[in-house]
Amino acid sequence: MVAITPRGELLTFAVRVQPRASRSGVRGEVDGALRVALAALPVDGAANDELIRFLARLLGVAPRRITILQGLHSRSKTVAVEGLSLEVLSGLLAKATNDQQPAALDR
């Protein structure tokens, strides 16, 4: 289960990214972090931009409501989301990690 931490009006959780995938999608959970494959290279912030776009579509929020707090140059990141309740975010992440098929979204 992905660990979610409330921080004021933000909800934060850990993400472990795998750049250079054939398509972006959730690949499960590892050590309390959401594992996400990204169809972007880790060059000039492209993977970070793709992560924000992907999470925005997955969670149904505007990209401006998602911020990478830590790990801009790392595969392990801490992401903050605003505008969702703890229950809604927890449910969306649980559904994404439990689906039989990866929760891939076309770009």
Whether 35 and 21 have beta carbons less than 8 Å apart is answered as no
Q: How far apart are CA 56 and CA 76, in angstroms?
A: 18
Taking residues 73-97, what's their average pLDDT? 96
Q: How far apart are CA 68 and CA 13, in angstroms?
A: 10
Give mean pLDDT, residues 26-54: 96
pLDDT score recorded for residue 100: 40
pLDDT at 101 over 80: no
Residue 106, pLDDT score:
52
* Separation of alpha carbons 84 and 43, rounded Å: 30
Domains and CATH numbers, the chain: 4-98 (3.30.1200.10)
pTM, two decimals, is: 0.90
pLDDT of residue 99: 72
Q: What is the chain's mean pLDDT, rounded?
A: 92
Alpha carbon 93 to chain centroid distance? Answer: 9
Instruction: Report, as an integer, the average pLDDT of 65-91.
Output: 97
Which amino acid would we find at residue 3?
A
Helix (H, G, I), strand (E, B), or coil: what is residue 100? coil
